Structure 1
Amino acid sequence: MDHLTIFKALANETRLQILQWLKEPEQNFPSGSLSDEHDFKDGICVGKIQEKAGMSQSTTSQYLSLLQRSGLLEARRIGQWTYYRRNEEAIRRLAEYIGKEL
């Protein structure tokens, strides 16, 4: 886990908001999250995230890509769409690191 990359990803208000929204996908993206049948429960389509963030598709994709590279998000392509969800294990490890080291 590269902590510097994670902190850079979190240093942007919109990227932080995206993580917060994905914490409760059913509440923040009504009828927009994947069910268990897709084996990627709570995954949200890029288009839904873009719509909520009010940003261009390219900026949204750039932000999601950075969050994924940092390890805070997981992505899965299903058909023609890419879905994102939080990587709860990575977030838990980050919280542990902050609690112990900072």
Structure 2
Amino acid sequence: MAETVVSLEFDLVRALRALANPMRLQLLSWLREPERHFSPEGAIADPVEVGVCVSHIQAKAGLAQSTVSAYMAELQRAGLVQATRVGKWTHYKRDEQRIAQLVAVLGQTL
């Protein structure tokens, strides 16, 4: 049990680091309601079920594709999003269960 708590606390630190960047925080916020923030036009997968294509995230953010990919990879390493490949495209969606766990740990830690 103590090992699990240490792991969750480490994950919390990693998540907080990822969220310390305003754009990564914005990206995570947009993914909370993908149907509201991303046009369904041109989508090859359901943004709620599968996630939003990185090219759509990049277009909305107005950043280079490499920058968006790096930001999304950081959010994924922090356990805040899940990536799914659809053909040659990577789609991202929030990991709501993991986010809830991290929020709970944050509440217990502070």
**TM-score (normalizing by structure 1):** 0.90
Partner of 1:35: 46
Match among 15, 18, 26 for residue 27 of structure 2: 18
Offset of residue 94 of structure 1: 1.2
Query: Which letter does structure 2 place at the counterpart of 1:34?
Result: A
Is 1:70 matched with 2:81?
no
Q: Which amino acid aligns with 1:63?
A: Y
After TM superposition, which residue ranges in structure 1, 4 or more long, deviate above 6 angstroms? none
- Structure 1 residue ranges without an equivalent (≥5): none
Deviation at 1:3, TM superposition (A): 1.5
Give the letter for the 1:23 counterpart. R
Query: What is the Cα deviation at residue 30 of structure 1?
Result: 2.2
Q: CA 1:33–1:25 in structure 2 vs 1: closer, same or farther (change >3 Å)?
A: farther
Q: What is the one-letter code of the residue matched to 2:69?
A: S
Aligned to 2:14: 5
1:96 alignment partner in structure 2:
104
Instruction: Return the offset for 1:6.
Output: 0.7
8 Å Cα contact 1:76/1:83 also seen in 2:
yes
Q: TM-score normalised to the size of structure 2? A: 0.83
Contact 2:84 2:90 in 1 (8 A): yes
Q: Structure 2: which 5+ runs fail to align?
A: 1-7
1:7-33 C-alpha deviation (Å, 9 max, x unpaired): 110000000000000000000002048
Equivalent AA in structure 2 for residue 80 of structure 1: K
Amino acid at match of 2:72: L
Task: Check conservation: 2:12, 2:106, Cα contact below 8 A.
Answer: no
